[in-house]
């Protein structure tokens, strides 16, 4: 009976981690949609979602600590639990960065953007795909998918460099655009950091499955 309960707790732990990953992905998606559409109501929704992500973070962490203290897991289960503790840190930070983008939506809602947003939404799409695939890799213990997903961080980095250079040009050419361009630069930086956290998710999956500590990107 005790082992049956133990396995149920492991399943619940995995489910809550996957749920947290889904919420983080949605927060990234909606934060950038809110920015592009200057939708303050959607930005407020993203800000509110951060509490849900934090709540899951605390719940999953508590479950991990309880399993470690009371069940003394060995080998693969121990790696899974320790990997989850790392994964939820990255997911929580992704949620925080999405919140920061939503805050910028509110700050810029009353003025048009200095240019149509194309590359920033593309960065968001890649980050969402990275988070989604990293969590599938976690769910299915798919090391190859984790490695493949991590490589996409290079695409995010390249887009960030492109956006940053373009926005610097706008600021130099017209100082009146500095404030808006600065806000958009911060958004691009936040998305670049989200890509880094998604890469970390993939590294945690590789460790969970193989026990190998790797730097994938």
pLDDT at 1: 47
Q: Phi and psi at residue 111, in whole multiples of 5°?
A: -140, 145
Q: How many domains does the chain have?
A: 1
Spatial neighbors of 127 by CB under 8 A, at least 6 apart, are 28, 156, 191, 194, 195, 198
pLDDT at 196: 98
- pTM of the entire structure? 0.95
The ranges of the chain with pLDDT < 70 are: 1-2
Q: Is residue 215 part of a domain?
A: no
Q: How far apart are CA 214 and CA 200, in angstroms?
A: 10
Q: Is residue 84 part of a domain?
A: yes
Q: Is residue 123 part of a domain?
A: yes
Spatial neighbors of 149 by CB under 8 A, at least 6 apart, are 129, 130, 133, 134, 137, 198, 202
pLDDT at 2: 67
Nearest to 194 by CA among 143, 155, 138: 155
Range of 175's domain? Answer: 2-210
Q: How far apart are the first and last CA of the chain?
A: 43
Q: Is residue 216 part of a domain?
A: no
pLDDT at 174: 86
Q: Is residue 70 part of a domain?
A: yes
Q: Is residue 125 part of a domain?
A: yes
Q: How far apart are CA 79 and CA 82, in angstroms?
A: 5
Give the dihedral of Cα atoms 164, 192, 48, 16; nearest 10 deg.
170
Nearest to 35 by CA among 127, 113, 130: 113
CATH code assigned at 194: 1.20.58.220
């Amino acid at each position: 009976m005790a082992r049956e309960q133990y396995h149920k707790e492991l399943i619940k732990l995995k489910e809550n981690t996957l749920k947290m990953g889904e919420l983080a992905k949605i927060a990234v998606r909606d934060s950038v949609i809110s920015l592009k559409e200057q939708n303050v109501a959607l930005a407020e929704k993203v800000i509110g979602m951060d509490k849900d992500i934090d709540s899951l973070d605390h719940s999953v962490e508590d479950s991990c600590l309880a399993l470690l203290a009371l069940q003394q897991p060995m080998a693969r289960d121990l790696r899974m639990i320790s990997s989850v503790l790392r994964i939820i840190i990255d997911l929580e930070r992704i949620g925080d960065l999405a919140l920061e983008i939503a805050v910028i939506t509110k700050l810029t809602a009353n003025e048009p953007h200095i240019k149509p947003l194309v590359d920033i939404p593309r960065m968001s799409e890649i980050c969402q795909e990275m988070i989604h695939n990293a969590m599938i890799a976690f769910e299915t213990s798919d090391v190859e998918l984790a490695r493949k997903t991590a490589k996409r961080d290079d695409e995010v980095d390249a887009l960030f460099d492109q956006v940053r250079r373009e926005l610097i040009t706008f600021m130099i050419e017209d100082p009146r655009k500095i404030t808006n361009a600065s806000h958009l630069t911060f958004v691009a930086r936040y998305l670049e950091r989200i890509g880094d956290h998604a890469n970390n998710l993939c590294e945690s999956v590789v460790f969970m499955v193989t026990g190998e500590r790797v730097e994938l990107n």
